[in-house]
Structure 1
Amino acid sequence: MVETSRAATATSIDTPPSATGTSESADSKPVVQLSELRKNYGSTIAVDGVDLEIQRGEIYGLIGPDGAGKSSLMKAVAGVLTYDSGTLDVFGVRVDSERSAETIKDRIGLMPQGLGLNLYADLSIEENVDFFGQIRLIPKDVLQERKNRLLGMTRLDKFRARPMKNLSGGMKQKLGLVCCLIHHPQLVILDEPTTGVDPVSRRDFWSILAQLLREEQITALVSTAYMDEATRFHHAALLFDGKVLARGEPDEIAALVPGRIVQAKAEPQAEAFALLKETFPQSEAVGPWLRVFVDDADNEQATTAVTTRLENFQPQEIHVAEPDLEDVFIALLRRRGLTDDDHPASLGRNADSVNDGDGLAIEANDLVRSFGSFKAVDGVSFQVKPGEIFGLLGANGAGKTTVIKMLTGLLPPTAGTGRVAGADMRRAGQAIKERIGYMSQAFSLYQDLTVVENIRLYAGIYGLSRRMTRERTDWIIDMAGLAGRENELSGSLPMGLRQRLAIGCALVHRPQVLFLDEPTSGVDPIGRRRLWDIIFDLSRNEGVAVLVTTHYMSESEHCDHIAMMYAGRVFADASPSELKASLREASGQLLEVTTDNPLTALDVLESGGFVGVSLFGKRIHLLAPDPIQAEQQVREALGKKGVGVLSVSEQPLTMEDVFVNRVLALEKIDEGKQ
């Protein structure tokens, strides 16, 4: 049955008839309507009886891991993929044949998944836009006007002559969006547009989309694997294994699973975490904190349940909060028996623990790497202690991977020195390789080898004996939760299991230092949390130093220490709590504003000079040095424009807030020098 109750809820969203320039009856008619839609690929069911309704002028989100069915569903809506059963109406047209699909394609813009996959690598920015304009038969004068506007909005106008293949990931996605919008579509379909994109480009992308929604009254269907992006959607559907787990406004979805998040500190942390995991399967260690989801509990009940369990550990600094959408998503899966929570939280100590904690595990001193006249890394210094989880964060092209390649001996430095696991990186290349594990972003496993064959291959590369190979194989199978799948091809494994196996292969020789280059990219929330359980166990119980890069800013909270990079330099080096405290002191508290007209409010606050203004679904975030004064100013500014303020509340700063604000400040400095 088509979801009529959800449509009723959608009418309360800020999409008035005046905003779209169409009649009230046209506004109330769904742009997209699916009923019992199914799509199979042979014996694999990709979309399994999905019902959805998308209203005019809204951003509708499809949220779920790889293989959830998002791409298949979106391609069907775009008219480029047939489906097996059910009904699909787009703009009131029943899309059930190639002929009917052709009647709607000129009103749709499709951006496929993958950085720049709808672009041409050897064409420049301007040539790509012109090409898409020409195949859409846009008159030259209209194309020129629209091209100038969109390139200016995306800040790509200064790089018109740059070939697409030389663009950063964020620039490729913005160019892809421009080409998708050049013919002024009424519906844009964006398949994971921010995957693999750094946080600054992600926020920039969402700002552009919000501006287009405000100015051009488009409707957007957007998929994402980032749960934190759900707050930017007016309505969303959580997908898993081809089915809809939940749908509605983000707040409505969050309310489906009653419970509370309790955060506490307790020592020894690893033992306290293992104990909590026995009672509360949805627990995780996040930096110095233990974060626990307590089902069906209010604040007092949740606090009592956790503190009672930890009474022998004397828990400190206890905080209670509402669960976020990722917590809800995992809880929904857990209640349906779709998680692997039965796997032990702790892997246990190995008898011959590899690191005694003396000295430094990694030491980088003024590292420089030049490629011709370009300095990819410019004087980078930091230190990592044994048993520490160290995050190296930065936008695309900041130099993170180059730093890792120098430290692992894969790339010689132009200048500077470094030591890894006690060995000089310049002179002891083989010694370093024997003491480190490296899981690269692009390549880790042989897809056409089985699980066991991959492990044995890596064991052979590192010269392990037969006895040690058997012991390490058993350990990896247990650690990665691969029992019963030993003879499956690694390429056939789900992404989360594949990444666990890759970490296991990097650890087969028991290294003292582990380098992980974006290990959770493309992994679903369950898999990401399981990977971080493994990383936590390695650091706390085995003393392994872990250097990790990630684009998920929420994951940086797991790090004990963080170095942030920009243009080849480290501009911040501290713990997550210290970095957030620094931003709070410099720029103020994060305020969340809820209004009855968020798009108009966004325009008013942006033009009013408020700092860090961005749209999150129906809410607006901004930074305020004086929250009380800022609230008064917000209410006055919006009141003058007839916008009703429903609430203004303080929210905790996130690592994404820290990263984005610091990088944007550095970009402004660079622009001032030009």
Structure 2
Amino acid sequence: MTEKVVEVENLFVAYKNGTVAVKGVSFSVKRGGIYLFVGPDGAGKSSLFKSVAGVIKYSSGKVSVLGFDPNNDEEVEKIREKISFMPQGLGLNLYQRLSVEENLDFFAALRGIEGKEKEEKKELFLKITGLAPFKNRKVEHLSGGMKQKLGICCSLMHNPEIVILDEPTTGVDPVSRREIWNLIYTFSEKEKITFLVSTSYIDEAERGTFVFVMENGEIVLRFKPGEVSLEDYFNEEIERNQVRVSVPFKSVVNVPENAVIVRNVTKKFGDFVAVDNVSLTIKRGEIAGFLGPNGAGKTTLIKTILGIYDRDSGYVEIAGYRNVERCRKIIGYTSQKFSLYEDMTVNENLILWGSVYDVPFKDLKRRIKQFLEILQLDKFKSALVSSLPLGVKQRVALAAALLHYPVILFLDEPTSGVDPVERNVFWQIIRELSKRGVTSLVTTHYMDEAEFCDRVFLMREGGIFKEGSPDELKREVEEKVGGVYEIFTDSPFRLYSLLKKRGLKVTVFGRKVRIYTDAVTVERLKKELKIGKIERVKPTMEDVFVLSVM
């Protein structure tokens, strides 16, 4: 029997404020497997991981990690020598002012790895992650995907037996997500390292050895990939928790038909061109989605349009105003990085932001009540923002952006790290506002969200290289490659590598490998590789994205 490296029995985790984050959870983990934890924000995944890693003490129950108890002050040090824990957040385990190579050197020194072993590991990590050309770049200047790949490499430097990754792909584009998972698969298979991974992406859960679904601090579902359809499960959850959103306002400001006009806008940071001669026009009431790899310039473009960054050249007009200051009070904005006050309660933050936008106090109380109900934030209104899960924080940020009834919304990854049920509510609101004449510019890494947009702009290297409706872009995929075909396999990255070597355009989605080619090539592959079933499928926005950056 394969050795159990983690055993958890009847685990409870409670905090000083009375919150019980984990309620009687039991499970075991075998060596060399990849164990996925999926569930809504606040389900208890992070608290569970921190308890197993010895970052926090659990309240009751029993936990054994490689035979040691993380609640025991002496034994927890032995656990830390043998495991790695990467917390939720882009690059939080890294040193921002150090370069890529300096971070690898630091973590090697920290773990006593030196000489030939260190250099060989550095070379391997830089090669497998594609970070070699950026080894002298400071972490603070890396894209989110680069930070996460480097963070995992630093976690692997000392040959840990167990690696715990808390939402390593949140805020990361689809191509970088695939690269991160290739990294996980490589070290799971070759080094027999055990991985515990939490994720908000349904397709990623298919890649594990075993899947645990958590809700309200409990494990409500456990299965091997293929036994249960998580997509169906969450669709049922969406139906059960369906909230018919009634948006309390409509656009009353006379916004021109061309609500946002951008002409030849360029933004540089020193010699680096972050936004390169971008031109676009967004219509009144349109939902415009911006997709692209981490570092493509999406956030910089939004901030430049808003005047947060001074543009080096070009022209911007918002709601008929060339001076952004004159239209600030009709604009709503949520930044990629959560920007509300962590040491204030939800209610206090909303009062503050309503006041900043000069909402009359007699109206503000009513509006706060409206949005607390719409976004299901009532039970959190007296909680400090610092104590909230990421998805709840994102809902608070959206409420703050809507309090003054804006007519144009700029939403920079508003649903990053948010579970499918909550994302559904976000998009109900955005779509209802669109019907009422509110214009939205949205950046996202969730490709299914791009389906809700009227028009999608694809970005790379600071420029827009393609635009169109989701249907137009998907039709273009089939016209360009001939078709999209899918193979189900237990070893998706192994098959992916094999097909790549043949010069084919392929990607990984869950435990499926997608091939972009024609029917003749598919028939040849069936014979040569003895593949029983290759199924033709309809292209998705993920296919559009992947092909655009290949």
Please indicate, yes or no, whether the TM-score normalized by the shorter chain is above 0.5.
yes
Q: SS at the partner of 1:31?
A: strand
C-alpha spacing 1:345/1:572, structure 2 compared with 1 (3 Å): same
SS in 1 for 2:328: helix
**AA aligned opposite 1:416:** G
CA offset at residue 518 of structure 1?
1.4
Q: CA deviation at 1:503?
A: 2.9
Whole-angstrom CA distance in 2 between matches of 1:57 and 1:233: 11
CA contact (8 A) 1:408 1:432 kept: no
Query: AA paired with 2:185?
Result: A
Does 519-528 or 445-454 show the bigger shift? 445-454
User: Cα offset for 1:95?
Assistant: 5.8
What are the superposed Cα offsets for residues 536-583 of structure 1, whole Å, 9 maximum, x if unpaired? Answer: 11111x110111111222212111111111111001111112112222
Question: What residue is the counterpart of 1:367 in the other structure?
Answer: 265
Instruction: Could you tell me which runs of 5 or more consecutive residues in structure 1 were left unpaired when the two chains were aligned.
Output: 1-24, 255-324, 640-644, 665-674
* Residue of structure 2 equivalent to 1:436: 331
Amino acid at match of 1:524: D
* Bigger Cα Rg: 1
Q: 1:107 to 1:490 in 2, by over 3 A?
A: closer
Partner of 2:247: 347
Instruction: Identify the match of residue 133 of structure 1 among 105, 108, 116.
Output: 108
> Aligned pair in 2 of structure 1 residues 631, 176: CA closer, same or farther (>3 Å)?
farther
Q: Structure 1: which amino acid aligns with 2:518?
A: D
Distance 1:189 1:357, change over 3 A: same
Q: Percent identity?
A: 43
Q: Distance in 2 between matches of 1:71 and 1:471?
A: 34
- 1:614 is aligned to 508
- Specify whether residues 208 and 626 from structure 1 end up closer, same or farther in structure 2 by C-alpha distance, changes over 3 A only: same
- Cα RMSD for the two superposed structures: 2.9
CA shift in 2, pair 1:75/1:225, >3 Å: same
Classify the secondary structure of the residue corresponding to 2:118: helix
Counting matched residue pairs gives 549
Q: Which stretches in structure 2 are left out of the alignment for 5+ residues?
A: none
Report the TM-score when normalising by structure 1: 0.74
1:495 CA displacement: 4.9
Measured after TM superposition, the shift of residue 615 of structure 1 is: 6.5
Is the Cα contact below 8 Å between 2:163 and 2:195 reproduced in 1?
yes
SS class of match (1:390)? strand
- How far apart are residue 113 of structure 1 and its match? 2.2
2:6 is aligned with 1:32:
yes
Residue 544, structure 1, aligned to residue 518, structure 2: no
1:253-652 map, 5 Å: 253-254=228-229, 325-329=230-234, 331-332=236-237, 339=241, 341=242, 343-347=243-247, 350=250, 353-354=251-252, 359-424=257-322, 428-449=323-344, 451=346, 453-465=348-360, 468-469=363-364, 472-473=367-368, 475-482=370-377, 495-496=390-391, 498-540=393-435, 542-595=436-489, 600-614=494-508, 616=510, 619-627=511-519, 629-634=521-526, 636-637=528-529, 639=530, 645=531, 647-652=533-538
Helix, strand or coil: the match of 1:362? strand
Per the TM alignment, residue 367 of structure 1 is displaced from its structure 2 partner at its CA by 1.0
Aligned partner of 2:547 in structure 1 is 661
- Structure-2 residue corresponding to 1:67: 42
Distance of aligned partners of 1:113 and 1:418 in 2 relative to their CA distance in 1, 3 Å threshold: same
For residues 469 and 70 of structure 1, do their structure 2 counterparts lie closer, same or farther at Cα, with a shift above 3 Å needed? closer
Of stretches 496-505 and 184-193 in structure 1, the one that deviates more from structure 2 is 496-505
Letter in 2 for 1:370: K
78-87 vs 144-153, greater mean Cα deviation:
78-87
Alignment of 1:100-111 (within 5 A): 100-111=75-86
> In 2, are the aligned partners of 1:587 and 1:624 still within 8 Å (CA)?
yes
Segment of structure 1 superposing worse, 76-85 or 358-367: 76-85
Deviations 1:37-78 (A, max 9, x none): 222223222222222232333221111233322223223333
**Equivalent residue, structure 2, for 1:11:** none
Q: Structure 1 residues 355-364 or 477-486, which shifts more?
A: 477-486
TM-score scaled by length of structure 2: 0.90
Structure-2 separation of matches of 1:492 and 1:138: 37
What's the counterpart of residue 296 of structure 1?
A: none
> Counterparts of 1:183 and 1:376 in 2: how far apart (Å)?
36
CA contact (8 A) 1:368 1:379 kept: yes
User: Secondary structure of the equivalent of 1:232?
Assistant: coil
SS in 2 for 1:244: strand
1:445: Cα distance to partner?
A: 3.4
Q: How does 1:38-53 map to 2 (within 5 A)?
A: 38-42=12-16, 43-53=18-28
Q: In the aligned structure 2, how far is the partner of 1:400 from the partner of 1:235? A: 35
For 1:482 and 1:110, how far apart are their aligned partners in 2? Answer: 31
Letter of the structure 1 residue corresponding to residue 245 of structure 2: A
Matches of 2:353 and 2:492, distance apart in 1: 54
